[in-house]
Structures are given as C-alpha cells and as structure tokens.
Structure 1
Amino acid sequence: MKTSGVGHGTGKIILMGEHAVVYGEPAIAFPFRGVGVTATFNTCNQNQITSSHYSGLLANAPEPLQMIQQLTQRLCQEFQQGAFHLIIESTVPSARGMGSSAAVATAITRAFFDWIDVELSDEKLLAYVNFSESIAHGNPSGIDAATTSGSQPVYFEKGKAFEAFPLNIDAYLLVADTGILGRTREAVAAVAQLRKTQPEPTNRFIHHLGTLSHLAKEAIIHNQPQALGDYMSLAQHDLRALTVSNERLDTLIQLALDNDALGAKLTGGGRGGCFIVLCRDYQNAQHIQTQLKDAGVTETWMQGLGVYENV
C-alpha cells in the first residue's frame, strides 16, 4: 500500500428534462469539468479530515458529513485498512444542482483505491457512490452518481438503465449562478399541484419536455448545435409555464439570448440556482460571460464541448 492516494470527481449538469423526469419522461445529464473535487488519502495514526466545511477528527464531523464517515468506514472495513487523513478540495458549489455530494463520493472512492493500490472498476465505483448518495439523499435517482463518475452524457428514464452516448457537439457551455439558492422541493411541489388543478396543459408541457430531451440527444449525436440551442430554449418556455423559473432566471436567460446565445435554460430544480447557455464558440461564450457579470452574476463556469472539449 502507498502512503497516499489521489482521486478526482467532476460536477454534473442536467441539460434537459428536469421535473419531467419525475413523471417518467427522459432527461439528459453530463459530467461538467468546469468544477470538480480532489480527494487525497494520507496514512495517519487516527482518522482526520480537512475540508472547507470542517477540519478535525472525522468522528467529530457534523451531520452533513455523515456520508463521508460511512463511505470511508465501509471502504476501510472491506479492505481492512488503517487510519487516514482525508483532504477534500472542491470547486463544486453546494445546493446548486451540480452534484456536489456525488462528486465528493467519486473523488473519495478513487483516492482510496489509489491509496491501497487496487484497481477500481466502473461498476464498483458506481456502487460505492450510489451507497454514499443513499445516505446523503435517501432515495436518489442515481443520475448524479452516473454522471459525476463517468465521462459521457447520460440519457436517463425512470425505471430503465442509464444510456451513455458521446458528447459530439461543437459548442461551448456556459453555466451561471443566479446567486439565489435553488428551491427544488418547493418547485417539485408546485408542479405536482399544477397536475392536480390543471392536468391537461401541465401534462402536455411535461410530455413536451420529454420529447425535447429525445430531440436534444439526437442533436448532440449528429453535431447540430443550433438545433440543440433551440430545444434548450423551448424547454425553458415549458419550465416557465410549469412555474419553476423565476424573474431573475428569465431576465438573465433573455440577456444571454439577446447576445447571440444558441439557446439557454435553467438547470436543476429551478426558482433560483443555475442556468446554462449554449454558445457557438469561445469568443461568443466570453462575450456572454462578460454581459452576465455586468448584470450581477458572480459565478460562471465554462466547458468546451465536441472539438472544443480539450481546447
């Protein structure tokens, strides 16, 4: 066994299908390397953790870090490993729908296996991350675990196996934070209420969001960035009709479109949180990024896609 091990996990973005996925429609999510987590295990004489949330003995860590306690305990028991000092460095913002907890679990699991110098299969990694996510979220869909531990977009439909497919779209994705915490639980409840009071139009919007997810997948596979942008903007229209957008999101998304974005929409639970903008090239992305910052957006992240992925 080595004296130290390092592992990484990426953030994730829901590209299409949020809220509709709850009702059996497909969604698309993919790893977002604009943010990520690095975990490091060092051999030590007692279990310690250093992180932005808490530093000290792992046994005394606050309740939100329970998933880390239980994941590391399971790993150490299964492989009969001794004490460690775990260091976690993260640029994934919390409560923004970017898969923070799953990215942490991915980085920890990879770092642990690097530390003990044992090969880690994709299946084992996913199993450990799902175990950790079940502690953090109770009954997660598994989409965060699949995307933060993978390298390709995931097409997800409730009750069906995840389908990975290549990210073949020549564009840039800009992710921007409204500065307002997302209110996922409230937004989900609002959609459920709409289905009771206005079932016909609500179900029509939900089904259309699912259709747009399918079309977006085809646009990505066939490298049609303008079509993908159009589908994103249509999805935002549906999400606004379902009351999960808000004035701040609407204003900033329109600003991006007014500055030649291919498309834009909220991502995740909505009513705050983040939104995503599809840009034709790096210059376009930079220009929109500047316009958004001038409008008060404090945090933005960028990722090249397709041929721009490794630029």
Structure 2
Amino acid sequence: MKMMNGVELHEVRVSAPGKVILHGEHSVVYGKTAIAVSLGLRTSIVIKEIHSDTHIVNVDLPAVDLQETIELQPITDKLFDPPFLPGTTEFPWMEPGNLDHEKHFGAVEKFLHETRPDFDSLQSNRQNSLRCFLYAFSGIFGSTKLPVCSMEISMESELTVGAGTGSSASFAVCLTAALIQLVKLKSGVDQEEFSMEDKKIISSWAFNCERITHGSPSGIDNSTCTFGSLISFRKGAGPRVLDLELRLRVLLVDTRVSRETKALAAKVAAFREWNTAAVDSVMDACDHVTHTATEILENLSKTKNITDIQLQYQRLEELWDMNHCLLGALGVSHAALERVRAAARARGLACKLTGAGGGGYAIVLIPPYSDEANITSLKQELEAAGFRATDTRLGGAGVALRS
C-alpha cells in the first residue's frame, strides 16, 4: 500500500460480464417476459490512486477510443454534494434512490459543455462514457467527506460496443462497483467479494447510467451484468434473478453488421399498427417460448442424468429455432443472420439471433455431447465468411472483485 501525505493510495480491480437475451426480444416491449443470461466475455476496470503534482483523473477507455485527463477541482466544486429528491433528508451513496437523477445529470451535462467546448462533436459513445463517469464518480464520492486523490482509471472489454451484448451495462456495472469498492477501502472496509446488498446498490447506480445512455432502459441489462446467471424480466414487474447453475456453451457470432435498436423497435411497432392481431399472436407465441425455455433451464440446472440432459437440450434447440422464426416473422432478421443459421443447421445445431436483430449477434447452442470437429468446422466456415465467432459460456458469475 502506497502513501501520499499520510493518505493511503488504493488500487481496485473489478470485472463484470456482458449479457445476451435468450428469449423475449421485442415481445418484452409489449408486456411479455424476457430472459437474459450473463456472457463469458467480460469488461474489466482498474482504478489506481496515484501521486501527482496536479489534482487530476486520467481516464483510458480503449473500447470507445477515449483518453481524457480531467482536473479534479472543478468536479469537486461543481458536481459534489449531489441533489436529493424532495421528501428525503440526505443522499448517501448507498441509497441511490434518494438521488435526484434529473438534476444531477443536468449538472453533469452543463459541466461537460462548459469545460469541453467540443463536447457536441464527440461520437455518442464517447459522450455517454464521459457522462456516466462524471455522474457516478461525483454521485458516489460527492456524497462522502472522503479525501479524493488523483487517480488513473483504465478499462478493457472483450465485448463489441453497440452489438447487443450489454457493453454499456457492463461498463456501468464495472465503473460503479469499482468506485463503491474504493469508497469502502478509503472508509477502512476491506472485503474479498461483493455482498448481495452491495450488488443491489451497484445495479441501481448502473441503471441510472443506463438511463443516461439509453433513455428508458428495462433494467434487464444492468441486472444481468451485476448478478450474473439468468434474469427474468417483465415490464412493470422489475428483474427477477434466477440463480441457476448454468454454463451453457455457445458459439457467439458477430455478423459485423451494425444495427440500431431504436430503429428496429420502431419497425416492429409500425408493422403492428397494420397487422395488430397477427403481430400480437406472434408476441404471445414468443411469451410461451420464453416461459417454456425457463422451465427447461431450471430442470437442466438440476439434472445429472445423461439421457435427461440430452432431452432437455433437444427441447431447447426446438425453442431456439421457433424463437428465431417468430422474430423473422416480425421482420427483424437479416441476410447475415440467416447465413449463420444455415451454416449451423447444416451441422445439426440450433441458432437464433439475439437482441434487436437486423445484424448484431447470433448464438449457436453447443450441447455437451457435440462433435468437436463439427464445431471447429463451423467456426472456420463462419470466420472465412467474414464473421467473428467466439466459443464461450452463458450463465457465469456477475460483477466480481479481481486480485
């Protein structure tokens, strides 16, 4: 542990997974249930307090090509002591529900435009990264009386930004978790892992960051990246953590076709206006698939019998095929996704789009009894076609401290 002017200098390392939607894409917007699962690909952050003659924060985010050096004094002068909601008497960092989100975000936005004249010219993902950092940093530290040292914040991610694997939520969870751990260390509290209560607080902070990035998020992304495993969500009910022992193996295939979630959601909404009864029937069918798949996954997490495992995987494969076709009927598939699916089906493997569709990612289910030569052949074919294929697992740990 290093010291500076009698103050301990701390270092924090945290990682959080990405996520994929297994079932319920688009239908979740219309009150149906969706399930998401944590992804084996993770985002990692290191916050290191440093000795510096100037009071600064160095931020390095290679995933969005952002490197910034920000003076600390203007942040503490203008953004610390965050506003709390009417009816509350204080705002401690462990009660993010007391924070007046709109006022605090407004102050962050004003600060960025005053201190960064070229802010509006930055790419949107860089803008949102800066917004979320200042929002969380000043919100969490600004509600304490702890000394703030110069620090370096560096983050790396195995996730592709903007492809539907929860990159922004994983970033937000990592950032808020690391800041909370730093506050705890500076308060004399050391721990080897986050408690369930810690995770609830982290998820709430990350949700507010997701509001900055996406406007009206469902909460499923930040919940999945925080708690890991499987998350069930229905609009108006809030996320429900299904703590299952799942390590589903998949081939995560990046089609490298960019897509915009809002535009695809608007396309489905417009399609529904002209074909309301038919589209609603598709949404109902998607909901049935989601609930059936959840039951199968719950059974799969408990059974050890090989015959039963094979049967459960066969049922999952049928549901993946069905779900993809239902989404295709809504017009959100893409030629690249269909090419991936055809290559998988030629080898007897189930494949579906995940997320908004229109490009982005496809996921290929790999049962435990699969022929490895078959998987290798599929991966080679997909990569030769210009796709990126990653062999990974679903259902692993959520946010975690790293040594």
Same fold, TM-score > 0.5, yes or no: yes
Worse-matched range after superposition: 212-221 or 35-44: 35-44
Q: Offset of 1:230 from its aligned partner? A: 0.9
Which segments of 5 or more consecutive residues in structure 1 lack a partner in the other structure?
Answer: none
Is the CA contact (8 Å cut-off) linking 2:252 and 2:391 kept in structure 1? yes
Alignment of 1:131-280 (within 5 A): 131-168=208-245, 171-223=248-300, 224-261=312-349, 263-280=350-367
Find the counterpart in structure 1 of residue 23 from structure 2.
Answer: 16
Is the CA contact (8 Å cut-off) linking 1:2 and 1:115 kept in structure 2? no
Distance in 1 between the 2:147 and 2:217 partners? 29
Which segments of 5 or more consecutive residues in structure 2 lack a partner in the other structure?
Answer: 1-7, 72-115, 120-125, 301-311, 397-403
Distance in 2 between the 1:113 and 1:160 partners? 27
Give the counterpart letter for 2:296 in structure 1.
A
Question: Runs in 1 of length 4+ with deviation above 3 angstroms?
Answer: 58-62, 166-171, 284-287, 304-307
Is the CA contact (8 Å cut-off) linking 1:256 and 1:277 kept in structure 2? yes
Worse-matched range after superposition: 274-283 or 231-240: 274-283
Find the counterpart in structure 1 of residue 68 from structure 2.
Answer: 56
Give the counterpart letter for 2:357 in structure 1.
G
Distance in 1 between the 2:286 and 2:315 partners? 15
Is the CA contact (8 Å cut-off) linking 1:6 and 1:114 kept in structure 2? no
Q: Offset of 1:301 from its aligned partner? A: 2.2
Would the alpha carbon gap of residues 58 and 11 (structure 1) be closer, same or farther in structure 2, given more than 3 Å must change? farther
Distance in 2 between the 1:288 and 1:86 partners? 39
CA RMSD of aligned residues (A): 2.1
Would the alpha carbon gap of residues 150 and 81 (structure 1) be closer, same or farther in structure 2, given more than 3 Å must change? farther
- 1:87 correspondence with 2:174: no
Is the CA contact (8 Å cut-off) linking 2:39 and 2:393 kept in structure 1? no
Q: Offset of 1:285 from its aligned partner? A: 3.8
- The structure with more radius of gyration: 2
Distance in 1 between the 2:320 and 2:395 partners? 17
Distance in 1 between the 2:173 and 2:348 partners? 36
Distance in 1 between the 2:248 and 2:221 partners? 23
Give the counterpart letter for 2:134 in structure 1.
Q
1:72 pairs, out of 125, 137, 144, with 137
Distance in 2 between the 1:106 and 1:73 partners? 16
- 1:291 correspondence with 2:370: no
Distance in 1 between the 2:56 and 2:395 partners? 45
Is the CA contact (8 Å cut-off) linking 2:15 and 2:43 kept in structure 1? yes
Q: Offset of 1:2 from its aligned partner? A: 4.7
Q: Offset of 1:305 from its aligned partner? A: 5.3
Q: Offset of 1:306 from its aligned partner? A: 7.9
Find the counterpart in structure 1 of residue 43 from structure 2.
Answer: 37
Is the CA contact (8 Å cut-off) linking 2:271 and 2:330 kept in structure 1? yes
Name the SS for the 1:67 alignment partner.
Answer: helix
Would the alpha carbon gap of residues 170 and 94 (structure 1) be closer, same or farther in structure 2, given more than 3 Å must change? closer
Is the CA contact (8 Å cut-off) linking 1:11 and 1:99 kept in structure 2? yes
Is the CA contact (8 Å cut-off) linking 2:229 and 2:245 kept in structure 1? no
Give the counterpart letter for 1:286 in structure 2.
T
Q: Offset of 1:107 from its aligned partner? A: 1.1
Distance in 1 between the 2:297 and 2:30 partners? 24
Would the alpha carbon gap of residues 233 and 137 (structure 1) be closer, same or farther in structure 2, given more than 3 Å must change? same
TM-score (norm 1): 0.91
Distance in 2 between the 1:276 and 1:293 partners? 14
Worse-matched range after superposition: 209-218 or 71-80: 71-80
Give the counterpart letter for 1:98 in structure 2.
T
Distance in 2 between the 1:93 and 1:8 partners? 16
Deviations 1:133-175 (CA, angstroms, capped at 9, x unpaired): 1111111110110001112100111111322224455741111
Q: Offset of 1:268 from its aligned partner? A: 0.7
Is the CA contact (8 Å cut-off) linking 1:25 and 1:206 kept in structure 2? yes
Is the CA contact (8 Å cut-off) linking 2:219 and 2:239 kept in structure 1? no
Give the counterpart letter for 1:142 in structure 2.
G
| Aligned positions, number | 304
Give the counterpart letter for 1:48 in structure 2.
N
Name the SS for the 1:204 alignment partner.
Answer: helix
Would the alpha carbon gap of residues 9 and 41 (structure 1) be closer, same or farther in structure 2, given more than 3 Å must change? same
Give the counterpart letter for 1:5 in structure 2.
V
Is the CA contact (8 Å cut-off) linking 1:173 and 1:278 kept in structure 2? yes
Percent identity over paired residues: 25
